[in-house]
Structure 1
Amino acid sequence: MKRQIVLAFALICPFLLYAQEVFINADFVSNYMWRGIKCGSASVQPTLGVTAGGFTISAWGSTEFSDKNNEIDLTLEYEYKRLRLIINNVFYQGEGETFKYFNYQAHSTNHTFEFGAEYAISERFPLTAAWYTIFAGNDYRENGKRAWSSYCQLSYPFNVKDIELSIEAGFTPWDGTYADKFNVNNIALKASKALQITDRFSFPLFGKVGFNPYESTAYFVVGISL
């Protein structure tokens, strides 16, 4: 564990010396929905990150107000023009679970490691295609074989007057975390608008309505960003 902590700081400290931006923000959401799956109730979700030369290192978390479900994601991103590459380490701990954070053993850890790629076609036609696959950690089928759980999504942003909108559709290509075979598991519409409170202060309000055809469920989330 000590070696892992030392290695993490050895990688982050040089990055901080060349940082172009350090950012911190937080969302407050009525429900925690992720790719059409409910992962928690009302939550606070902070982000702390640093960028340098096209790279971004960030930590994102989600903590419920009423229950004890917690998540922390550590992410490394690289962006070049319209392409974004992502490596994500997700650690989720539900109420009553006692997983240790620094346990990375394949069949007993509650970490998952995911690789993702996103590509936007053009500025005039900003359709974004994305593919994410879990390549390590707690991601196994009942037969003990690695699932390689994957999620694919198409999203398209647009504006109606002063409201920012985005429509997205996601599916999983095979048996894994999201479904037991190929299935569409997320269709959603998101809207956001900056609410002007005073001449100097405003904050974004957003809402998202979606459906999970695989689970035959619907959801609506509202939140604010600070």
Structure 2
Amino acid sequence: MKKQIVFIAILFCTAFAQAQEVFVNADFVSSYIWRGIDSGNASVQPSLGLNWKGLTVYAWGSTEFREKNNEIDLSLEYAYKNLTLYANNYFTQTEDEPFKYFNYNSHSTGHTFEVGAGYMLSEKFPLSVSWYTTFAGNDYRENGKRAWSSYCELSYPFSVKEVDLSIEAGFTPWESFYSDKFNVVNVGLSATKEIKITSGFSLPIFGKLIANPYEEQVYFVFGITL
């Protein structure tokens, strides 16, 4: 295991050295809502990654301010024209389920592995359709069979008076992590605006109004990006 960690670290260092762009930022959010699911209280959510010829590799995390719940995800994205491919490794642990990071046993791990694809119709009509499916990790139905948890989302960005807006709707096609059958689980409207602080510094703020029709819940999230 130590050799594997050293090898991965060397790969990351090499990748960062060859990257066209390296980015680091953090969001501070009033609550953590993911695909219409309540996933945590007020949190800080940092990210660190790199871009290289259409390929984006990054780590993303979420840590609550009041509890010890946290998440760390490793993601790989490749964009070619209007098509984007995704591969994600999600890892979560809570006070009730303190998973160990290097435990990859299917029924006791805190990891789930997902692949997906997204396609934007055109620049003039930027409607995007994305599909994600979990293929490995702790993702099982009550009968012990793999759930193949899947999520499909449609999103459309637009702007109104210097405010960037986006509407989205997401559903799950069958019984899985998201729902006990086909259901719409996420309907949302988000808005992002940069607040000018000085002549050379602006602070992006955002708000998201989210509804989960399946759970009959509505959320409002406020966030700041640094």
- State the TM bucket, normalised to the shorter chain: over 0.9
Structure 1 CA distance, aligned partners of 2:117 and 2:73? 17
Alpha-carbon shift at residue 125 of structure 1 (Å) = 0.2
Supply the AA of the counterpart residue of 1:50.
L
Alpha-carbon shift at residue 48 of structure 1 (Å) = 0.2
Supply the AA of the counterpart residue of 1:116.
G
Structure 1 CA distance, aligned partners of 2:92 and 2:208? 23
Out of 89-98 and 109-118, give the one that drifted further: 89-98
Out of 180-189 and 5-14, give the one that drifted further: 5-14
Q: 1:8-157 alignment to 2 at 5 Å?
A: 8-157=8-157
Superposition RMSD on alpha carbons, in Å? 1.0
Asked if residue 208 in structure 1 is aligned to residue 208 in structure 2, the reply is yes
User: Deviation string for 1:78-125 (max 9, x for gaps)?
Assistant: 111111111000000112322110001111111000001111000000
Supply the AA of the counterpart residue of 1:37.
I
Structure 2 CA distance, aligned partners of 1:89 and 1:122? 29
Q: Which residue of 2 is the match for residue 197 of structure 1?
A: 197
TM-score with structure 2 setting the length: 0.97
User: Deviation string for 1:11-58 (max 9, x for gaps)?
Assistant: 323322321011000000000000000100000000000111111110
In structure 2, relative to structure 1, the CA distance for the partners of 1:4 and 1:138 (3 Å cut) is: farther
Supply the AA of the counterpart residue of 2:217.
T
Alpha-carbon shift at residue 5 of structure 1 (Å) = 1.1
- 5+ residue gaps in structure 2? none
Structure 2 CA distance, aligned partners of 1:10 and 1:223? 34
**What is the number of residues matched between the two proteins?**
226
Structure 2 CA distance, aligned partners of 1:32 and 1:4? 32
User: Deviation string for 1:128-177 (max 9, x for gaps)?
Assistant: 00000001000001111100000000000000011110000000000000
Structure 2 CA distance, aligned partners of 1:103 and 1:3? 16
Supply the AA of the counterpart residue of 1:76.
L
Structure 2 CA distance, aligned partners of 1:213 and 1:96? 27
- SS in structure 2 at match of 1:214: coil
Alpha-carbon shift at residue 10 of structure 1 (Å) = 4.5
Structure 2 CA distance, aligned partners of 1:198 and 1:10? 40
- 5+ residue gaps in structure 1? none
- SS in structure 2 at match of 1:197: strand
Out of 173-182 and 7-16, give the one that drifted further: 7-16
Identity of aligned residues (%): 65
Alpha-carbon shift at residue 190 of structure 1 (Å) = 0.2
- SS in structure 2 at match of 1:39: strand
Supply the AA of the counterpart residue of 2:128.
T
TM-score with structure 1 setting the length: 0.97
